[in-house]
Amino acid sequence: MAAMQFSSRVVRVVASVLLVLCATCATLVTAQVNFSPSWGKRGAPQQEACKPSMDSLMYLYKLIQDEAQKLTDCEKFAN
């Protein structure tokens, strides 16, 4: 019983130290991120690269449809 109290106390102390350490690190760190319209692009803008392909759209459509079917099946079996 005494060993369990000791380990519980050690766990609380370690958790408290980690919490204080994380809080201290969070207060010391600062960052700023600015995004512009041409952020991350090199050279001329490429509009065709942003167009999704029909295969990708069909894959996403099928994936959503399959997940919706799974949800309806789960509801049928739950009731």
Assess whether pLDDT exceeds 90 at residue 7: no
Look up the pTM and report it: 0.35
Residue 36 lies in a domain: no
DSSP 8-state secondary structure symbol assigned to residue 44 = S
49 close to 42: Cβ distance less than 8 angstroms: no
Assess whether pLDDT exceeds 90 at residue 10: no
Phi then psi dihedrals of residue 59, to 5 deg: -65, -45
pLDDT reported for residue 65: 95
Please give the average per-residue pLDDT across 72-79, as a whole number. 80
The whole domain housing 9 covers: 1-31+52-77
Residue 18 lies in a domain: yes
Residue 73 lies in a domain: yes
pLDDT digits (tens, 9 = 90+) for 13-64: 888 999 998 888 888 877 777 777 666 656 555 556 667 788 888 999 999 9
Tally of domains within the chain: 1
**38: Cβ–Cβ under 8 A, 6 or more apart, which residues?**
45
Residue 8 lies in a domain: yes
